[in-house]
Copies of this chain bind each other. A is one copy, B any other.
Amino acid sequence: MKPVHPLSDLSFAELQQAVEIVKQLHGQTELVFKAVTLEEPPKNRVIKYLHAEQNGLSLPQIPRVAFAAYYFKGTDTFITTYVDLSSGLVERTERMGPKYHGNVDFKEVVHVEGMVMKNPAVIEEIKKLQLPSHLMVIPEAWGFGTDGVDDAKRLYQVYMFVGEKSNPDSNHYARPLAFSPVVDPVKMTVIRIDQIPTGRDWKTSDTAPWRYVPPNEYVPEETNLRKDLKPLHVVQPSGPSYAINSDNVITWQKWHARIGFNYREGVVLRDVRYDGRPIFYRISLSEMTVPYADPRSPYHRKQAFDLGDVGAGLVSNNLKLGCDCLGAITYLDGLLVSPEGQPVVKENVICVHEQDNGIGWKHSNYRTDRACVVRNRELVIQQILTVSNYEYILAFILNQAGEVHYEVRATGILSTAAIDPGCSVPWGTIVHDGVLAQHHQHLLSLRIDPALGSFTDGNRLAYSECYAMPMDDFNPHGNGYISKTTLVEKAGGIDLDAATNRVFMIQNAQILNPVNKLPIAYKIHAPPMQKILAHPDSYHFKRAEFADHNIYVTKYRHDELFSGGKYTNQSRGGEGITSWVARGDHVVDEDIVIWVQFGLNHVPRIEDFPVMPVEILKVSLKPVNFFERNPSVDVPPSRQEFNLSTLVDHGAVTTRCCDGDVRRE
């Protein structure tokens, strides 16, 4: 039997085995699984394995361990168990205390929504609306959030909307209602119905007859579509330049990476190397939180954790259905576990393809007029998450200049609330008659576990800044300025500073560039981010532990993967990065982990409705003195025989040959 790589995701059979062992632990008790996934093997052991693998030595044995999180069905008993699949034994099992909850899952969400619509009190409330017969109420269950009142109880806040009976995809966000059932999913009952304020203050009213509001649809059959868009095809007649083996190891233009997928993070890249040289041990999105700005109940609890609460892998789109990718595409499946414990293939959760991103480099010698130019070919490894109303398109993008980009596109539909006509509030924008889209922040945390040039050397975090030289005898004309590099000594949070052009770099000081003797490094280009606005005493702030600094650095510890904590659903904080940096670890020439925070403060505009044009964010990781020259200098020249562009005249299409002849067709 072919040995399993220690970094491979758990296979179908391994998941079955894990579930079986867990079930045996609990006899007849029916279990509801929230997660069954690979427990990362200890890093030092993996590194020995990678070294042996790369040097043709005999491969050490590393046990395959599964992590499972589950409930006793119909109870709040939440248990986590680690199973050693190699020995078949339970490593440890723990009943989690009352402050820990498992993630939301959309099967439960749909179940809760169905139950709510049958609840007599809810039905009574709906009757008061006196809806026209062609309309119906659409429920949408949200994780309850946290307010320090009753966080030990796992609950749902079910927001209510109005939709068209005739169109199951009518945009119900255009017609929000002002009452909201609260559900206990363990007992599967409605425990109360909240009235929601719709004015400028906390005042609520009883449910009254619904004021007619026209629809605002995004589905194509309700839209007068443009007719003048001509097709654009991306064609690779010889196929793409990448290869992916059966273990999802991808090789492309000197890059090597293992593409992993799990219920929590979705895509993870491991063992990322360029031209055989290690760069990253592991890189993944660690968390994303979306706190909302409306201070009034129940909105004070409105704060999604889009990885921890719902599981990015669990909510990944099947990319087959939507024609999401253009060109020559490879789709990869993911393996998850159903609430019943059955391994499930989630098809086409990852798409891989190349794309052209314009010119890569160019120079023309003005003396000879000779132009040398190459194109910027990129490799895209992409997933798309749907978290109720919102979509996030997440992509790792690699290029031939040794750069790794992490691109996030926010799209989907604004979360909306009912507002009285003619009313306006400073914490949101009116996007439709009677519809308030509240301000919110999207705050993401990218976890980078570097291995610059080596898997065993320690790394360090530094930042470079530029300062004007004083205007003096050495700098008499006042134009001089210098760059200065500062080392980060201890674990903690640090910020960007545009005024000094502060640029963070991960360095390996054990390996110096042979030409300029500077340590090999990768720098981080992160977009500016307004830190979380919620008050430091608020739960919003306490839960989003990473969101108060642009950069965090910690010393590596096993199981410190999620900067907002491992269990975010109705969390209270205190389990994430804040406590890790409190250790005060020394982080120079150590096994360090860098966390890059980025995001956007979303002050909605009407153009974001009924569905939002993508807002694009990008974090870029670029080599600094890691190579000896531009790593893309050996990309073949951009040539017409290779590119086959066509010349378009005013009205006629002609074909262009590279020797200058133009044949008109």
Contacts and interface: CB of A to CB of B under 8 A. Distances in A.
Interface string A593-632: 0000000010101111111111000000011111111111
A551 interface: no
Interface stretch (A1-9, A78-86, A406-414): A406-414
A513 interface: yes
A367 to B, nearest CB: 7
A424 B285 CA distance: 38
Given A324-B359, A409-B359, A498-B529, A609 B634 contact: no
Interface stretch (A29-37, A214-222, A583-591): A214-222
Contacts of A133: none
Contacts of A219: 372
A578 to B, nearest CB: 17
Contact of A623 (B324, B530, B607, B651): B607
A315 to B, nearest CB: 8
A207 interface: no
A419 to B, nearest CB: 10
Contact of A229 (B412, B482, B635, B644): B635
Given A202-B474, A477-B539, 7 more contacts: A229-B636, A295-B479, A498-B528, A501-B603, A605-B622, A606-B625, A606-B629
Interface stretch (A122-130, A328-336, A443-451, A568-576): A328-336
A223 interface: yes
Contact of A402 (B533, B538, B607): B607
A321 B365 CA distance: 13
B426 A484 contact: yes
A351 to B, nearest CB: 10
Interface stretch (A95-103, A241-249, A265-273, A453-461): A241-249
Contacts of A389: 363
B231 A540 contact: no
A603 to B, nearest CB: 5
Contacts of A476: 295, 300
A433 interface: yes
15 contacts: A229-B636, A235-B646, A322-B373, A323-B645, A323-B658, A361-B412, A362-B411, A362-B611, A430-B515, A431-B515, A477-B539, A483-B603, A498-B530, A516-B606, A605-B623
Contacts of A636: 220, 225-226, 229
Contacts of A243: 650-651
A323 B640 contact: yes
Most buried by B among A218, A240, A496, A613: A613
A369 interface: yes
Residue from A331, A372, A610, A633 whose CB has the most chain B CB atoms within 10 Å: A633
B540 A478 contact: yes
A165 to B, nearest CB: 14
Point out which of A168, A468, A607 has the most chain B C-beta atoms below 10 A from its C-beta. Answer: A607
Q: Number of copies of this chain in the oligomer?
A: 2
A468 to B, nearest CB: 5
A372 B218 contact: yes
Q: Count chain B CB atoms within 10 A of each CB in A240, A426, A645 and give the residue with the most.
A: A645
Interface string A340-368: 00000000000001111011111111111
A391 interface: yes
A555 interface: no
Given A359-B409, A625-B606, A377 B481 contact: no
B633 A466 contact: no
B648 A624 contact: no
Interface stretch (A49-57, A276-284, A286-294): A286-294
A373 B229 contact: no
Contacts of A640: 323
Interface in A500-520: 500-501, 503, 513, 515-518
Nearest to A139: B367
B367 A110 contact: yes
Interface in A309-332: 317-318, 320-331
A639 interface: yes
B362 A479 contact: no
A644 B628 CA distance: 41
A391 to B, nearest CB: 5
Nearest to A217: B633
Interface core residue of A233, A302, A354 (most chain B CB under 10 Å): A233
Given A226-B253, A241-B228, A168 B369 contact: no
Nearest to A468: B533
A108 to B, nearest CB: 12
A47 interface: no
A237 interface: yes
A475 interface: yes
A521 to B, nearest CB: 8
B218 A363 contact: yes
A132 B534 CA distance: 69
A106 B645 CA distance: 31
Interface in A362-393: 362-373, 375-377, 384, 386, 388-389, 391, 393
Nearest to A483: B603
B603 A630 contact: no
Contact of A236 (B230, B403, B631): B230
A384 B645 CA distance: 18
A147 interface: yes
B649 A330 contact: yes
Interface string A548-566: 0000000000000000000
A537 B478 CA distance: 7
B643 A624 contact: no
- Interface hub of A228, A364, A368 (most chain B Cβ within 10 A): A364
